[in-house]
């Protein structure tokens, strides 16, 4: 798969991670997150896979998200870094300006799995 096709695929997976109701089939999370996954949240806290899985299973599924400025960089064969901005689009009570996200994906078996994720709170408009 060429880089542009990979970018579209990874962008779709990023969006689906945020918008899928994982309670309907929690075992599918194993197809998306690597066993050694970890995250640095916009608050600077490091979260292990179990914490992120818990968030995915309990998040508000009515929230819709907008991904903009999406791009990927090939790191090595089978490793991709995604960089993009994200913002909640249907939460009028939110005062957040969104965040800039970076994810590292590895091609494992026959699909891409997220290995690492970091969110940086956006301070400007």
Q: What digits encode the pLDDT tens for the residues 67-99?
A: 999 999 999 999 999 999 998 887 666 666 788
Q: What's the full length of the chain, in residues? A: 125
CA distances from 52 to 1, 38, 41 (A): 29, 8, 10
Coil, helix or strand for 2?
Answer: coil
pLDDT for position 114:
97
Cβ contact 38:49 at 8 Å: yes
**Whole-prediction pTM value?**
0.88
Q: What digits encode the pLDDT tens for the residues 17-61?
A: 988 899 998 988 999 999 999 999 988 999 999 999 999 999 988
């Amino acid at each position: 798969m060429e880089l542009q096709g990979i970018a579209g695929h990874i962008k779709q997976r990023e969006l689906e991670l945020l918008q899928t109701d994982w309670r309907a089939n929690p075992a599918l999370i194993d197809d998306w997150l690597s066993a050694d996954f970890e995250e640095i949240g916009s608050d600077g806290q490091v979260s292990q896979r179990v914490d992120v899985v818990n968030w995915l299973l309990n998040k508000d599924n009515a929230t819709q998200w907008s991904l903009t400025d999406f791009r990927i960089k090939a790191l090595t064969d089978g490793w991709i870094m995604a960089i993009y901005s994200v913002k909640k689009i249907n939460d009028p009570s939110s005062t957040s300006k969104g965040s800039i996200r970076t994810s590292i994906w590895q091609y494992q078996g026959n699909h891409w799995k997220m290995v690492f994720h970091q969110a940086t709170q956006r301070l400007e408009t």
